[in-house]
Structure 1
Amino acid sequence: MTHAADTPRPTRFAPSPPLLGTIAAPGDKSISHRAIILAGLAIGTSRISGLLDSGDVAATIGAMRAMGARIEQDGDDWVVQGVGVGGLMQPASALDMGNSGTSARLLMGLVASHAISATFIGDASLSRRPMARVAGPLADMGAAIDVAPGTRLPLSVRGIAPAIPLAYRLPIASAQVKSALLLAGLNTPGATRVIEPVATRDHSERMLAAFGADIAVETDGDGVRTIILTGRRDLSPCDLTVPGDISSAAFPIVAALLVPESRVTVTGVGINPRRAGLLRVLGEMGGDIVLANQRDVGGEPVADITASHSALHGTDIAADLASDMIDEFPILFVAASMAHGHTVARGLGELRHKEADRLGAMAAALAACGASARIDGDDMIIDGSGGAPLPGGATIAANHDHRIAMSMAVAGLVSRDGVTIDDMASVATSFPSFVPLIERLQAGA
């Protein structure tokens, strides 16, 4: 692999030798955001180990510092002195979210129930992403929200204290909207209720409980979850370890399944049931994936995952699985393009609203590399190569999307003529060590 020294950083991923070795995944991005925010609201000092060191998490750290939390790095750990629920300070300038939609949406919720105002800005990619799903219910709680046309950044939130407790039924499954409302509920008197017809990742519920929030979850006979948070309760400081991010581990795992003679172990990976859909699907496709040393870390289930080269076969992925692996579909599409037979992934409209239109961008990228991929409504349909290398030879536009960049990098490893990614800079938002890690595995590290 070679890449230019300056940004943009085009990088060519050539056909790979076997990938061999044991590595650790970077810290879970979703959990890292929530750990910094809740530690910043606790009364006292929290210590966080395993925090993801990336551009996205840096945006959350910068915003919480701007609103009064003291956050310092101590070796590999982060030490956070919180301000207490209700204690956020008025930021002196706009909060720059960079490329982090998670930072923007969660912090909008946090600000909404405090008597402060904040302006949220972001890069060109983030400024194209809609914020209406969060802005609407926060306005119902009493926050005043001034948005750019299309309900996009730049965006200003003028919080209100006390806010109005809300009972909100999610029209579309979204862990970010749920989490934003729960964060708003922390400084809201009474009970804030979020109703989930389709369960989403529950990192927020687990971590709120760990910090001592008054939170309960009820599930009815139809599987509908209601999360009930009673606000204006102090949070206690917490020492916690962030598990490895399964969304990042997905790339070396799939690469090991596809590159002949490979065997890779990724240690300390979070396997939260609402995040592990990719592992279930890859197993159904015939992937040789073994989970070992299963344990609990910081309230989250964790395991060491070993993936070995496998002959995959196509599968049919139901729409109700989408929320359990929404971030992993780009790399799953690459796996499907190398499988024997036909894969259909259904109900993927949410992929159109990520950093890029991941549905359209991945269909175009795979087609440019010689794979058979097409879209039918919100479904992706892929006819696999039967294990034969993809032709490759293309230069792929990553569209400032880290998951597109890394997914097509893996496609390059199993291609005949290699694949060039036009710019790998976006990978710094979630997996800064991706390229050197792949090089280590190629060297048998």
Structure 2
Amino acid sequence: MKKIVLTRKAETGPEFKVVRPLGPLKGELSVPGDKSISHRAAMLASVASGRTELSNFSPSLDCLSTLTCLVSLGCEIHKKENQLSIVGKGFGQFRAPAEPLFCNNSGTTMRLLCGLLAGSDFEATLDGDASLRSRPMERVLAPLSQMGLKIVKNGPPPFTIAGGKLTGIEYVLPVASAQVKSAILLAGLQAEGKTVVVEKIPTRDHTERMLAAMKVPIEISTPAFDPSTLEGRLAKEEKEKRIAVMRAKSLASLSIKIPGDLSSAAFLVAAAVLVPKSKITIREVGLNPTRTAFLNILKRMGAEVNWKVDEERAGEPVGTITARHSGLKGTKIAGEIVPNLIDELPLLACLAAVAEGTTVIRDAEELRKKESDRIAAVTANLRKMGVKVGELEDGWAIEGPSELAGTAIESFGDHRIAMAFSVLGLVASSETLISQPECVEVSFPGFFDALEGLVK
């Protein structure tokens, strides 16, 4: 059987992956545990009462960074493959780290740790790799400093914080960010009085669901409005959401099998949609409604993709996705849906290259502040493959369908760029070469093996 993914070493320089246009893709599989849920489960387990058992914990480098930092803070963590046992000791029991907490490439680790450590009576320095050092942290440090966190050394990473006595605040998120929201809520569990986070645009709600599962009182509300008045109509239009917590006496420990990561499954779903005669089924994947926007957009573009919820785990819906080869049509993606598919937008831009008509993606300027400038990275690589694409300040205008040329793709060391163009390479006219393919380990270890395993 011919392989669709090969490892090849250049005469000089590192290895790269070669993706060949073969197929179809068929079969059933599961994907590694959800990265967002794994981060939060580990951090909350570290301050819970008693032992938490986590299975199918994400093997991603990002989540391993979280575990490494927690161990540096004195947490007792027992790990065997993707099974974890974490002994929680409650808030205020962390020890001062002997060295800076190195978060590698993980913005979630860095931002959530700021909230988790906000009530601790010691200083901690947080640092990361070159990519993380370039990403914005003021958005999380600003509200936490309003609550009482001291910024000993400000600026981009590395920065130093000192925890202490915290006071609850009401904070309106200026930028839709589940990470900032979660950091404030983690600090709020250690603060005097009520802490309220106000969202104008909904974001991932994994933190809220897990806190509720751990028996933490949490209030989630939207304001009442009178549609007969201008003020009421404006309130409805804003769809404001308020999430409130008080100081927590304790968090109940959990035993949970982490659902499969929908953001990882998205690449395999997209591959099945693209490659003729393909049909795949992905089981035990997380179907949180704040994460399924990608599937809804695929449906709108004409993809034959279906999903159903089979069960619930710690407040998270878990189920099955089925996808088959489909023709696609262009669409427009903008507005409040964007924060809930920000990770999948580079992949959708690649799908737009083979869709009939023009696809316009706007309001995604946040992509310029990820592991790479993803707007520029996608633009450059699509043009290499022969796609007509206009780069916008906050997205793209992409004309399709295009005859895709196999070419050398620059991943910029960004896992989502590498995986998105590996998928698109399956329907190129010749081999597609992916640089720095090891970067996929950040979120989806085994991605290339999973893709190869679906070839029939």
Bucket of the pairwise TM-score, normalised by the shorter protein = over 0.9
Two-structure CA RMSD over aligned residues (Å): 1.6
**Which residue, 123, 131, 134 being the options, matches 1:117?**
123
Q: Which moved more, 1:278-287 or 1:76-85?
A: 76-85
TM-score normalized by the length of structure 2: 0.93
Alignment of 1:28-107 (within 5 A): 28-74=34-80, 76-107=82-113
SS at structure 2 position matched to 1:51 = coil
Q: Report the residue type matching 2:431 in the other structure.
A: G
Q: Decide whether the 8 Å contact of 1:8 with 1:425 is kept in 2.
A: no
Which runs of 5 or more residues in structure 2 are unaligned?
A: 225-235
Cα displacement (A) at 1:30: 0.3
Question: Is it true that 1:158 corresponds to 2:174 in the alignment?
Answer: no
State the shift of 1:2 in Å.
2.1
Distance 2:271 2:403 in 1: 13
**Deviation sequence 1:163-216 (CA, Å, 0-9, x none):** 121111001110000001111112112111111011111000001111122211
Cα deviation per residue 1:249-277 (whole Å; 9 max; x = unaligned)? 00000010001111111111111111111
Measured against aligned partners, the alpha-carbon deviations of 1:285-333 in whole angstroms (never above 9, x if no partner) come to: 1100121453212211122101000000011112221011111101111
2:193 corresponds, among 187, 190, 206, to: 190
Cα distance, 1:42 vs structure 2? 0.5
CA–CA separation in structure 2 for the residues paired with 1:123 and 1:348? 24
Q: CA deviation at 1:418?
A: 2.2
Q: Distance in 2 between matches of 1:355 and 1:75?
A: 27
Alpha-carbon distance, 1:4 to partner: 4.6
Residue equivalent to 2:409: 396
- Percent of pairs with identical residues: 41
Gaps of 5+ in 1: none
Distance 2:356 2:240 in 1: 37
Give 1:427's aligned residue. 440
Contact residue 403 and residue 429 of structure 2 kept, 8 A: yes
3-state SS of the aligned residue for 1:370? coil
C-alpha separation in 2, matches of 1:319 and 1:179: 22
Q: CA deviation at 1:74?
A: 4.1
Q: Is the 8 A contact 2:386 2:403 kept in 1?
A: no
Listed one character per residue, the Cα deviations across residues 374-409 of structure 1 (whole Å, up to 9, x for unaligned) are 122313111111xx641122x222112100010011
Match of 1:340 in 2: 356
Opposite residue 189 of structure 1, the aligned amino acid is E
> In the alignment, what sits opposite 2:134?
128
Contact 1:113 / 1:185 at 8 angstroms: preserved in 2?
Answer: no
- Given that 1:20 and 1:441 are in contact with CA atoms closer than 8 Å, whether structure 2 keeps it comes out as yes
The answer for the alignment partner of 1:374 in structure 2 is 390
Tell me how far 1:9 sits from its aligned partner: 3.3
SS in 1 for 2:117: helix
Residue 146 of structure 1: how far off its partner (Å):
4.1
For residue 152 of structure 1, give the secondary structure of its aligned residue in structure 2.
Answer: coil
Q: Work out the CA distance in 2 between the residues paired with 1:83 and 1:384.
A: 55
Match of 2:229 in 1: none
1:218 and 2:234 matched: no
Equivalent in 31, 37, 41 of residue 25 of structure 1: 31
Q: Check conservation: 1:111, 1:117, Cα contact below 8 A.
A: no
What secondary structure does 1:61 align onto? helix
SS at match of 1:156: strand
Q: Which residue of 2 aligns with 1:205?
A: 208
Relative to the length of structure 1, the TM-score reads 0.95
User: Aligned letter for 1:80?
Assistant: I
Q: Matches of 2:169 and 2:9 in 1, distance apart?
A: 50
Cα distance in 2, alignment partners of residues 407 and 314 from structure 1: 18
Equivalent residue runs for 1:291-306 within 5 Å: 291-292=307-308, 294-306=310-322
After superposition, the C-alpha distances for 1:143-172 in whole angstroms (9 at most, x for unaligned) are 122456xx3211111111x21211110011
Report the 3-state secondary structure (helix = DSSP H, G, I; strand = E; otherwise coil) of the residue aligned with 2:66.
helix
Q: Verify the 8 A CA contact 2:59 2:82 in the aligned structure 1.
A: no
CA distance in 2, matches of 1:218, 1:115: 33
**Residue 355 of structure 1: aligned partner:** 371
| Cα displacement string for residues 51-94 of structure 1 (whole angstroms, at most 9, x for unaligned residues) | 10121001111111111221112464210001202222111111
CA drift at 1:43: 1.2
